[in-house]
Amino acid sequence: MGEESIDSGKRNFLKAMVVISAGAAVAGVLKGVVQNIIPPSSGLSSFPELTLFFNGNPLKYSDIPPSFTGGNIVLFDYPLQSDPNFLLNISNDNKTPAPVEPMSVFIPATGGTYESPGGVGPDNSVVAFSAICQHLGCVPPIIHYYAAGSAAFPTYIHCNCHGSTYDPSRGAKVITGPTTHPLPATILKYDAVTGTFKVVSMTGPTIYGKISDLTGGTPLPEGQTYTDVTTESIQG
């Protein structure tokens, strides 16, 4: 009897050793698998400073009169590829640029505010915002800017997916829901000497669908110091 229980104790000890070392192996495998299936984040570590290019040359103020940014959907990618931003020259009559003041913008979802940078350029009227709707992520042309004089939503950015409306002359603050966040503001810099525009960073809410503005996409080709301004025409 005594013999037997000693034997079974040893038996259990050996079993425990099998379990421990196999457990260690399983732990190692699990660590490998779990870390492996979480994809490494793709993106940048800081906001790049990019010159806005238009048709292969640095964008001039004269390229974007109010009638142009109001009559077309004018976009550029920032900070990553496939992060579209609206470029707008704000005006109340689609002719005369209207300066946009820096102001603090209210976020309905959190009750907080943040500082929106205001317009740049000779008339302090050029602004840029993320062009991805903060409600559920619809992109242009479904969301776009309705120039002054439009039948519906004049001077507003409106999203046809579910009807969110933003006011780009007041930091793209929320005019009507269902969105609860303003459009993130893209910060521009105007160089009066060379007459060129640079895009330098973003502020406000995070771009829709991303953990951070800088990750979750493919960076522009390495070493590229510009981002192209593209246009599509407004239909309907």
From residue 70, how far is each of 150, 204, 232 by CA, in Å? 10, 23, 11
Q: Does 132 bind ligand FES (CB under 6 A)?
A: no
Q: Does 135 bind ligand FES (CB under 6 A)?
A: yes
Q: Does 161 bind ligand FES (CB under 6 A)?
A: yes
Q: Does 15 bind other proteins (CB under 8 A)?
A: yes
Among residues 21, 81, 176, 225, the one that binds other proteins under rule CB under 8 A: 21
Closest CA to 52 of 100, 121, 98, 117: 121
Q: Which two tokens stand for residue 109?
A: 């979802």
Among residues 74, 105, 138, 229, the one that binds ligand FES under rule CB under 6 A: 138
Q: Does 157 bind ligand FES (CB under 6 A)?
A: no
Task: Please state, in angstroms and rounded to a whole number, the distance separating the CA atoms of residues 27 and 132.
Answer: 42
Beta-carbon contacts of 92 under 8 Å, excluding residues fewer than 6 positions away, are 98, 148, 155
Contact flags string 132-161 toward other proteins, x per CB under 8 A: ------------------------------
Give least dist CB 209 to other proteins, A: 20
Give least dist CB 33 to ligand FES, A: 36
Q: Does 133 bind ligand FES (CB under 6 A)?
A: yes
- 31-50 positions binding other proteins, by CB under 8 A: 31-33, 35-40
Three-state secondary-structure class, residue 35: helix
Closest CA to 168 of 216, 97, 63, 112: 97
State the sign of the Cα–Cα–Cα–Cα dihedral 10, 12, 18, 22: negative
Strand pairing of 226-233 and 196-203?
unpaired
Q: Which two tokens stand for residue 49?
A: 């400073």
Footprint on this chain of other proteins (rule: CB under 8 A) = 5, 7-8, 10-18, 20-22, 24-25, 27-29, 31-33, 35-40
Footprint on this chain of ligand FES (rule: CB under 6 A) = 133, 135-138, 143, 159, 161-164, 178-179
